[in-house]
Amino acid sequence: MDRLFLGANVLFSAAHRRDAGVRRLWGLPETELVTSAYAVEEARRNLSTPEQRADLDALLASVRISNLLADLAAYPEVAESRLLEKDIPILRAAVAARCTHLITGDRQHFGHLFGTMVAGLLVLRPADYLAGRVPGQAYRSG
């Protein structure tokens, strides 16, 4: 089973537009969705309407929210990831939650990590994860 850590912009996109393709992540079999309170707060802060915030709350009903952070000493690759200080908590939370994937569309800050393994998790854009899915099975790379 894949355990997907959803970055703030994935949460934002799913709540911002009800027809967003990223919402397909919520219907995948054999997939657990995980995020952090930090990511939720960032997404909520950027949503502009009460309806969007209500959609975010509805989406979060099926997402596990983890407040754990991986120890940087135990995962030096997190510190070496060249992420901005504000983005490191996302990666630390994904590692601590033992996710298999970090799903983010944040090309500006995470783009250099797309398609790579960092501390045991594969960093992908939502479209790339969805393109690698075989119906009824976990993500298949390549």
pLDDT of amino acid 75: 84
Angle between helices 8-16 and 37-46 (to 10 degrees): 40
pLDDT of amino acid 85: 87
How far apart (Å, rounded) are the C-alpha atoms in residues 8 and 106?
9
Residue 137 lies in a domain: no
Query: Residue 28's domain is classified under what CATH number?
Result: 3.40.50.1010
Residue 72 lies in a domain: yes
- Cβ neighbours for 62, distance < 8 A, ≥ 6 positions apart: 26, 33
Structural domains counted in the chain? 1
* Residues in the chain, pLDDT under 50: none
pLDDT of amino acid 76: 84
Domain membership of residue 30 as a residue range: 2-131
pLDDT of amino acid 78: 82
pLDDT of amino acid 79: 79
Inter-residue contact 123 to 112 (CB < 8 Å): no
User: CA 2, 107, 126 angle in degrees (round to 5)?
Assistant: 30
Residue 136 lies in a domain: no
Residue 42 lies in a domain: yes
Residue 142's SS3 state is: coil
